[in-house]
Structure 1
Amino acid sequence: MPNAERDPAAPWDGPCVIVDPYSSGALFPEALAEHSVPVVAVVTGPRAPEAYASSYRPQDFAEIIVYEGDLEPVVRRLRELDPRCVLAGCESGVELAERLAPRVLPERCNVPELAAARRDKSSMADAVAAAGLPVIPQLCTADADEVAAWLEREGLTGADLVVKPPKSASTDGVIKLAGGADWRGVFTRQLGRVNQFGEIDDRLLVQKFVTGTEYVIDTFSHEGKHALVDVCAYRKIDNGPHMAVYDTMRWLPPDDPALSELAEYVFGVLDAVGMRFGAAHVEVMGTAEGPLLIELGARPHGGGQPRFNRNATGDSQIDQTVRWLTGGELPQSYELLVHQMCVFHIAPRSGTVRGTSALEGIRALPSHHFSIQNLADGDRVPATRDLVDSLNFGFVILAHPDEEQILRDYEAVRAGERRLSIEE
């Protein structure tokens, strides 16, 4: 029976469908296996995007369906499977998941008419502004002359700017321009670039650069109701000419004074972009004038973050999704069980690495919970430009009842990095 004719009282006993089950999306099969729920993968190409290839575990799926440009055979097969959900596993799967879900499972999908607002950052901001919420001033175009006119009109000539793709992730292609220096040259060079998903950046976003505390708010929605799963504060730094390089991500307690205003704004954003079911990853800048949306991902927080969130809070977006799909109870908020921080490794310059033994002491730190370093002596390392570079280098999760211990161990991590030799 096609899902469009499903009896609302009928049990949900089909598989879960994950589109591009990479990054944190690769965590669904294990969590669902505990409830004897099979998982079917739909992939947007025969090979995973390079940034996600290491996380792909094809052996975890009862069936793998390759989308080859024609939606109809995929829709037909999914209807035969009668799934209980169609969800994006990571950013590269969002658009296809948003096209499939209304066709296969209209009872459990986001608002179809707003699908573009859940992927394209320009449409996203337009939808949020249309809902009456404040957004960062921006323009999305392929025309440099249109940018010049917009800068003049908005009084942003000579202001700090950000140029970035409307469809990418992990700060890929994000460039900060102090005082708007050479914005036209940067715009021209970036236009037509192939991003990490293999897509051509045929338009670019130009934004006013705003400052404040950057937060990431992870949520889970069902039937249009939203709940906080965790809230973290990012610290980013400039690494030479590269802006927005990740330094740390710190988990915040649910009684942090910033959370009330953030939650109200983020739930309004979720409504504005038509988010009704599934995990979302929302990045917000907390400015002196209030929160402003940076971007939203209609999928779980990437980088395997749900595993670390379980350590900090005892829960995750993966766990909440599975509980809801299998009839479990859902909390409205979260608790912080232990202070936790992610420290992202940073290479200050490109070159050949020596002395990687300087990082061996990290695992002996009192607050060490998890770490990975992907460098050996003689390897070439690029200067850290974005989150992909950071994850390729490695990162450290520090967790401890004493927050001061975490801060001391953070300094020890950076001291170890400084002892590395990177010769060009």
Structure 2
Amino acid sequence: MPKAEFTGPAVIVDPYSSGALFAAAFAEQGVAVVAVVSGPRPPQAYASSYRPQDYPEIIVFDGDLDAVVGRVRELAPRCVIAGCESGVDLAERLAPLVLPDRSNVPELASARRDKSAMAAATAAVGLPIIPQICTADPDEVQAWLDREGLTGRDLVIKPPRSASTDGVVKLPGGVGWREVFARQIGRTNQFGETDDLLVVQKFVTGTEYVVDTFSHDGEHTIVDVCRYRKVDNGPHMAVYDTMQWVAPNDEALPEITDYTRGVLDAVGMRFGAAHVEVMATPDGPLLIELGARPHGGGQPRFNRNATGDSQIDRTVSYLTGKEISAGYELRRHQTCVFHIARRSGVVRNTAVLDEITALTSHHFSVQNLVDGSHVPMTRDLVDSLDFGFAILSHREAEQVQRDHDTIRKLEEQLVIETPHVPVAEH
């Protein structure tokens, strides 16, 4: 598409998390970025990434969609896209009204945000999905378990509209699912939304992949593929251990990426970045969930180091009239190692983690604890990012693995003390 067709600023809805990276990337190409924010303050999980100084104009949505649409139309932007998960709903409402030729299928908007709706849309085109039900009624869950033969099987309960494994609970053998369901229903999630419905799924096993994409005119390009390793941490399931970048010639990828493209078609994705999580099972790939926005946690910065590209870069390249690739190359072996706290308590000896920066494959690291601070047992990705992580990158995969093992040994030297609570005397 000729460069002349792309004019005006870029509009980013909730430019938080990785969405905050758009401002600098567009600025390098001489393009201004206008922020539309879905509320007066970012969700707490994203607050630290918000840089209001990067935007010449910030439009606050206060419930009046017509007012926002009117102002965004006046800007004649080249795109209206979500920066992170909290901006997806508003971006999906705005884009078709402002740039219908550069937006997703409006009738399928819920399938790009709600986990139950995206599974239903995927199943509707004949692709396999994880057996599940979404309801507020525990009796409906019991009837479904009986009907599907899942009584006594491992289950997962999770909110349909949260992210970062927030509120995800694994139930071995399904034991106690009613109690967990009762505790989780009506809970306020990390976006400040009420979980008035819950998804109950069969627990499936396999290898989890994330496929990061950029779509234009309904064509889905692959920006990167990463393989997750998750571990149980006490009662908490799916705690992130590592995320490893996968070479494009890996034998598992053709089936994974073909399935991903089918899912993106099914949910009406036609323009913008998407983050698709897929479980490779013995019976084939199954959708875990997708986000109609870039991979969060600043991943595009690290992806650029591994591949020379990212969802941010590819989006900006396309919207400034440059040629973009349909695939990617892996230039360096790279792994993100997430710190894990094995229990809650007051932490000591945090200086031991300073040794991470001296590792041969060290590319980037952050750890947010100091001696005397309280660390919770790691439950989800938010906890992992609050604690910290390290990016290991090297031309030799063996070096990355050795340094990963060293990080886990350093973590074992942390002292996490459970505060003593004195028993009152009577």
Taking structure 1 as the reference length, the TM-score comes to 0.98
2:72 aligns with 78
Residue of structure 1 equivalent to 2:154: 160
| Structure 2 CA distance for aligned equivalents of residues 223 and 61 of structure 1 | 28
Does residue 407 of structure 2 align to residue 421 of structure 1? no
The code of the aligned residue for 1:178 comes to P
Read off the aligned partner of 1:56 and give its amino acid letter.
Y
Q: Give the match for residue 234 of structure 1.
A: 228
Q: Kindly indicate whether residue 252 of structure 2 is the aligned counterpart of residue 258 of structure 1.
A: yes
Match of 2:90 among 78, 93, 96: 96
Deviation at 1:10, TM superposition (A): 6.7
Q: How do 1:140-219 residues align onto structure 2 when only pairs under 5 Å count?
A: 140-219=134-213
Distance apart, 1:358 and its partner CA: 1.2
1:3 alignment partner in structure 2:
none
Describe the superposition over 1:87-119 as per-residue Cα deviations: whole angstroms up to 9, x where unpaired: 000000000000000111111000000000000
CA distance in 2, matches of 1:343, 1:50: 24
**Partner residue, 2:423:** none
One of 8, 15, 25 as aligned partner of 1:21? 15
- Per the alignment, in what secondary structure is the counterpart of residue 265 of structure 2? helix
CA distance in 2, matches of 1:135, 1:259: 18
The superposition leaves residues 189-236 of structure 1 with CA deviations (integer Å, 9 ceiling, x where unpaired) of 000000000000000000000000000000010000011100000000
| Correspondence 1:280 to 2:274 | yes
Could you list the runs of 4 or more consecutive aligned residues of structure 1 that deviate by over 2 angstroms after TM superposition? Answer: 8-12
Contact 2:334 2:394 in 1 (8 A): yes
The separation in 1 between residues aligned to 2:322 and 2:3, in whole angstroms, is 17
User: Where does 1:22-61 land on structure 2 (aligned, <5 Å)?
Assistant: 22-61=16-55
Which residue matches 1:369? 363
Q: Secondary structure, in 3 states, of the residue corresponding to 1:358?
A: helix
2-structure distance, mates of 1:142, 1:11: 47
What secondary structure, in the 3-state scheme, does the structure 2 residue paired with 1:333 have?
coil
Secondary structure of the equivalent of 2:5?
coil
2:395 alignment counterpart:
401
Q: How far is 1:12 from its partner?
A: 2.5
Of the three residues 281, 284, 295, the one matched with 2:289 is 295
CA pair 120-65 structure 1, distance change in 2 beyond 3 A: same
Alignment-derived partner of residue 315 in structure 2: 321
The AA in structure 2 aligned to 1:23 is: S
Q: Could you tell me how far 1:328 is from its partner in structure 2?
A: 0.4
**Rounded Cα–Cα distance in structure 2 between residues aligned with 1:249 and 1:240:** 20
Deviation at 1:294, TM superposition (A): 0.1
How many positions carry a matched residue from both structures? 417
Aligned residue in 2 for 1:244:
238
Amino acid at match of 2:13: V
Q: State the partner residue of 2:345.
A: 351
Contact residue 277 and residue 287 of structure 2 kept, 8 A:
yes
The residue matched to 2:211 in structure 1 has which SS? strand
Secondary structure of 2:371's partner? Answer: coil
What is the CA-CA distance between 1:11 and the residue it aligns to?
3.1
Q: Is the 8 A contact 2:18 2:298 kept in 1?
A: yes
The answer as to 2:289 corresponding to 1:311 is no
Paired with 2:163 and 2:141, the residues of 1 have a C-alpha distance of 23
Q: Structure 1 residues 154 and 44, CA, compared in 2 at 3 Å: closer, same or farther? A: same
What's the counterpart of residue 127 of structure 1? 121
- Verify: 1:335 aligned to 2:354, yes or no: no
**RMSD between aligned alpha carbons?**
0.9
Q: Deviations over 1:262-281 (max 9, x none)?
A: 11100000000000000000
| Structure 2 contact 3–321 (Cα < 8 Å) conserved | no
8 Å CA contact retained: 2:92, 2:109: yes
What secondary structure does 1:243 align onto? strand
Could you list the runs of 5+ residues in structure 1 that have no partner in the other structure?
Answer: 1-7
Give the aligned residue type for 1:234. Answer: Y
> For 2:287 and 2:388, how far apart are their aligned partners in 1?
28
Provide Cα deviations, 1:11-45, integer angstroms capped at 9, x if missing partner: 32111000000000000010000111000000011
Question: Tell me, which stretches of 5 or more residues in structure 2 are unaligned?
Answer: 419-426
Q: What TM-score, normalized by structure 2, do the two folds share?
A: 0.97
Distance in 1 of aligned mates of 2:5 and 2:265: 28
* Cα displacement (A) at 1:70: 1.3
